Amino acid sequence: MTTLATHPFAAAAAAAEVTTADVVLWVVLPYLFLTVFVLGHVWRYRYDKFGWTTRSSQLYERRLLRWASPLFHFGILFVFLGHVLGLGIPKSWTRALGVSDGLYHLMAITIGTVAGVSTVVGLALLIYRRRTVGPVFRATTRMDKLMYLVLAVVIALGMWNTIAGSILNLGGHYDYREGVSVWFRGIFRFDLHPELMADAPLGFQLHGMAAMFLFALWPFTRLVHVFSVPLGYLWRPYVVYRAKARTTPGTRPPRRGWEGVQRPKEHVGPF
Among candidates 79, 89, 86, 83, which has minimal Cα distance to 114?
A: 79
Q: Does 132 bind another protein (CB under 8 A)?
A: no
Q: Which residues contact 83 (CB under 8 A, 6 or more apart)?
A: none
Interaction mask 154-193, another protein, x per CB under 8 A: ----------------------------------------
Q: Does 253 bind another protein (CB under 8 A)?
A: yes
Q: Which residues contact 69 (CB under 8 A, 6 or more apart)?
A: 122, 126
Q: Does 19 bind another protein (CB under 8 A)?
A: no
Among residues 31, 43, 47, 128, the one that binds another protein under rule CB under 8 A: 47
Q: How far apart are alpha carbons 180 and 205 in whole angstroms?
A: 9
Q: Which residues contact 8 (CB under 8 A, 6 or more apart)?
A: none
- Please say whether the beta carbons of 4 and 10 come within 8 A: yes
Q: For helices 63-88 and 101-132, what crossing angle results, to 10°?
A: 150
Among residues 172, 243, 267, 271, the one that binds another protein under rule CB under 8 A: 243
Q: How far apart are alpha carbons 144 and 84 in whole angstroms?
A: 26
Question: From the CB of 238, what's the least distance to another protein, in Å?
Answer: 4
Q: Does 118 bind another protein (CB under 8 A)?
A: no
Question: From the CB of 234, what's the least distance to another protein, in Å?
Answer: 5
Among residues 5, 96, 168, 234, the one that binds another protein under rule CB under 8 A: 234
Query: Which residues contribute to the site for another protein (CB under 8 A)?
Result: 44, 47-60, 62, 65-67, 69-70, 72-74, 134-135, 138-139, 141, 143-144, 220-222, 225, 228, 230-234, 236, 238-244, 246-255, 258-262
